[in-house]
Chains A and B, each alone.
Chain A
Amino acid sequence: MIAIKTIDLTKNYKDICAVDSLNLEIKEGELFSLLGVNGAGKTTTIKCLSCLSKPSTGDALILGNSILKNEIEVKKLISVSPQETAVAPNLSVKENLGFICGVNGFNKSKSQDYTLKTIKNFDMEEIKNKQAGKLSGGWQRRLSIAMAIISEPKILFLDEPTLGLDVLARRELWALIKDLKKHMTIILTTHYMEEAEALSDRIGIMSKGKLIAKGSAIELISQTRAKNFEEAFIEIAGKRGEIK
Chain B
Amino acid sequence: MKTAALSLRNWKEILRDKLNVSFGLGFPLVLILLLSFIQKNIPVSMFELPQLTPGIIVFGFTFLSLFSGMLIAKDRSSSLFMRLFTSPLKPNHFVFSYYIPFLPLAFFQAVFTYIVALILGLEFSIHILSSIIISLPVAIMFVSLGVLCGTIFNDKQVGGICGAFLTNFSAWLSDTWFDINLVGGAFAKIAKALPFYHAVEAGRYALAGEYSKIFPDLWWVIGYAIVISALAIWVFGKKMNYDK
Q: Which of B4, B79, B80 lies in contact with A102, CB distance below 8 A? A: B4
> In the complex the two chains form, is A90's CB within 8 Å of B1's CB?
no
Query: A80 — which chain B residues lie within 8 A by C-beta?
Result: 82-83, 86
B85-121, CB < 8 A from A? 85-89
Q: Which residues of B contact A50 (CB under 8 A)?
A: 86
Residues of A near B8 (CB, < 8 A) are 99, 102
CB of A88 within 8 Å of the partner chain: yes
Q: Is the CB of A103 within 8 A of B5?
A: yes
Candidates A82, A103, A151; contact of B6 at CB < 8 Å = A103
B40 beta carbon closer than 8 Å to chain A: no
What are 9 inter-chain pairs, A to B, with CB distance below 8 A?
A47-B243, A52-B82, A75-B86, A79-B83, A86-B83, A91-B13, A100-B87, A105-B1, A105-B88
Q: Does A232 contact B (CB under 8 A)?
A: no
Instruction: Other than A91-B12, A99-B9, A106-B1, give 11 A-B pairs with Cβ distance below 8 A.
Output: A50-B86, A53-B243, A75-B86, A86-B82, A86-B83, A88-B80, A90-B12, A90-B13, A95-B9, A103-B84, A147-B83
Chain A interface size band reads: 35 or more
Residues B56-95 near A (CB distance < 8 A) = 78-80, 82-89
For residue A7, CB closer than 8 A to chain B, the reply is: no
Given known pairs A88-B13, A95-B12, the reply for A105 and B2 (CB within 8 Å) is: yes
- Interface residues in chain A, defined as those with a beta carbon under 8 Å from any beta carbon in chain B: 47, 50-54, 72, 75-76, 78-88, 90-91, 95, 98-107, 147-148, 151
Q: What is the bound-complex CA distance between A72 and B16, given in angstroms?
A: 33
